[in-house]
Amino acid sequence: MISSSKLKSVDFYRKIPRDLTEASLSGAGLSIVAALAIVFLFGMELSNYFAVSTTTSVIVDRSLDGDFVRIEFNFSFPALSCEFASVDVSDVLGTNRLNITKTVRKFSIGTDLKSIGPEFHSVPITTIINHGDAADDEIVEDSVLLTAHTFDTFSRQYPILVVNFYAPWCFWSNRLKPSWEKAAKIIRERYDPGKDGRIFLAKVNCMEENELCRRHHIQGYPSIRIFRKGTDVREDHGHHEHESYYGNRDTESLVATMEALVTTIPQTANALPGTKSDNASDAVKRPAPITGGCRIEGFVRVKKVPGNLIISARSDSHSFESSQMNMSHLVSHFSFGKRINSRTLTDMQRLAPYLGRSYDKLNGQAYFMSSELHENVTIEHYIQIVKTEVMSQKASKDDKLLEEYEYTAHSSIASSRFIPVAKFHFVFSPMQVLIEETSKSFSHFITNVCAIIGGVFTVAGIIDSILHNTMRIVKKVELGKNF
């Protein structure tokens, strides 16, 4: 068994008897300063131990959200009718989706960009519109040509006025012409305006009556509008209520639709219409746009490859005059990926320098052009997207990994030979920014604490020794003693 004397021989901290030591005021003062320094440095180290530091690196994109990303948007087009507004998506891999409606909503807006009325529902086109009759060598024009001076008179005279707004140069207007004129003749023979007077078919040349067509928000040719006496003359927000016809354009379909409209009206000239018909032909009639503007909001999913999000006027059975198209717009919201809610950002203020800065860079940006400069002008936005991932150490389980797509945007206005569009060209970076939160280990904290205590104690001892020896030498000099 090892004796106590042998154990004492390995004592690193041999004790000096207290009566052999000497206390001094300078030593006491230095001890107090050293103790305060140790407490202060310990507090700093403790704070540093609980703090979270971040490291930033750029790596190849290893996203867990797959090959697709969601684009959310909210655009306001003051001069694009909801009737023809189309959201299209394309990319370099050959994806080409036209007129997306499942995840997109449209609302008619006024000049102040505020919604007017309920959501505008586009008509699903499942089959090609039948135009029926081919153009004859000689077409007898049985429908009456209306002008700005006569339009209001006819709309007040007949319970139902059906008008074909057309353009002479338009291919689809010329395809409709023979069927329209034949249908006008048949309806006039069956419902004599002089005796019956319940319905009347007419037409308007938009190239000659430009202001009249603009007043009724005609942007595509031909546009067939159904005006009802008692509703078309009552103004709501400065615009007339009426319907648009989207059905087949052959003579039989036109006549069947017109007769369905007449069935609800008493056989008395100038009588007001009753309730609308439940006939199947109602499926091809929809409320016409009450304003010339449209707000488009919703989302689309796109592949993470270079592509385009395009807003344009589109129809498979209408023509558009490019000089009349104005693609001015306001971007209320435009972002990629899942948005981090404000509550999460509020709870994690320390992440503010890394998140929520450039994920919606286009928000609030307006691209408006004057009426003189909008002709044949396409507005393009070139967007470069980089994904940022933050690996959080102190967040809840659901917020351990925060993802955000940030982007830069450059916009330009260019003349186009084709129908003007608003194009958002996006490019995803193959790299991503990875920000990781790290905290110090407990062993590192203990090591630093020991270093602080030992270091301060040692430095204080050295200073005390220097002060003590200096004071002793000074006293010897004062007494005239040699060193």
Q: What is the mean pLDDT of residues 376-402?
A: 78
Do 236 and 296 lie in one domain? The reply is no
Phi-psi region of 36 (alpha: psi -120 to 50; beta: other; left: phi over 0): alpha
Q: How far is CA 282 from CA 35, 197, 413, in A?
A: 91, 22, 42
The reply to whether 194 falls in a domain is yes
Do 107 and 148 lie in one domain? The reply is no
* 452 φ, ψ (degrees, to nearest 5): -65, -50
**Among 76, 74, 97, residue whose Cα is nearest residue 87:** 97
Number of compact structural domains in the chain: 2
pLDDT, tens digit (0-9, with 9 covering 90-100), for 47-57 = 888 877 777 88
Do 298 and 433 lie in one domain? The reply is yes
pLDDT, tens digit (0-9, with 9 covering 90-100), for 321-364 = 887 788 899 999 999 987 766 666 555 555 656 665 677 788 88
pLDDT, tens digit (0-9, with 9 covering 90-100), for 31-84 = 888 889 989 998 998 888 887 777 788 888 877 677 889 999 999 999 898 888
Which residue would you say has higher pLDDT here, 317 or 394? Answer: 317
- Name the one residue in this structure whose structure tokens are 């005059």: 321
Using the predicted structure, report yes or no on whether residue 97 has a pLDDT greater than 80: yes
Mean pLDDT over all residues of the chain?
80
Do 322 and 430 lie in one domain? The reply is yes
Residue pair 428/69 in contact by the 8 Å Cβ criterion = yes
Do 167 and 235 lie in one domain? The reply is yes
Do 299 and 430 lie in one domain? The reply is yes
pLDDT score of 73: 95
Instruction: Report the distance separating Cα 82 and Cα 75, nearest Å.
Output: 12
pLDDT score of 268: 52
The reply to whether 35 falls in a domain is no
The reply to whether 407 falls in a domain is yes
The reply to whether 287 falls in a domain is no
Residue pair 363/332 in contact by the 8 Å Cβ criterion = yes
Residue pair 72/334 in contact by the 8 Å Cβ criterion = yes
Do 76 and 168 lie in one domain? The reply is no
Assigned token pair, 34: 């050293």
Residue 305 structural domain:
57-111+292-438
Please confirm, yes or no, whether 206 is among the known catalytic residues.
no
Report the predicted TM-score, pTM, of the whole model to 2 decimal places: 0.72
Using the predicted structure, report yes or no on whether residue 104 has a pLDDT greater than 50: yes
Instruction: Report the distance separating Cα 369 and Cα 328, nearest Å.
Output: 6
Task: Assign residue 308 the CATH number of its domain.
Answer: 2.60.470
Which residue would you say has higher pLDDT here, 268 or 30? Answer: 30
Q: What is the mean pLDDT of residues 76-96?
A: 91
Do 98 and 206 lie in one domain? The reply is no
The reply to whether 152 falls in a domain is yes
The active-site residue out of 82, 170, 206, 213 is 170
The reply to whether 128 falls in a domain is no
Instruction: Report the distance separating Cα 219 and Cα 217, nearest Å.
Output: 6
Do 205 and 309 lie in one domain? The reply is no
Do 97 and 204 lie in one domain? The reply is no
Do 150 and 215 lie in one domain? The reply is yes
Task: Assign residue 192 the CATH number of its domain.
Answer: 3.40.30.10
The reply to whether 207 falls in a domain is yes
Which residue would you say has higher pLDDT here, 326 or 134? Answer: 326
Kindly give, in sequence order, each residue whose CB lies less than 8 Å from that of residue 58, ignoring residues fewer than 6 positions away: 431, 432, 433, 434
- Name the one residue in this structure whose structure tokens are 């503010």: 352
Do 296 and 407 lie in one domain? The reply is yes
Kindly give, in sequence order, each residue whose CB lies less than 8 Å from that of residue 276, ignoring residues fewer than 6 positions away: 264, 282
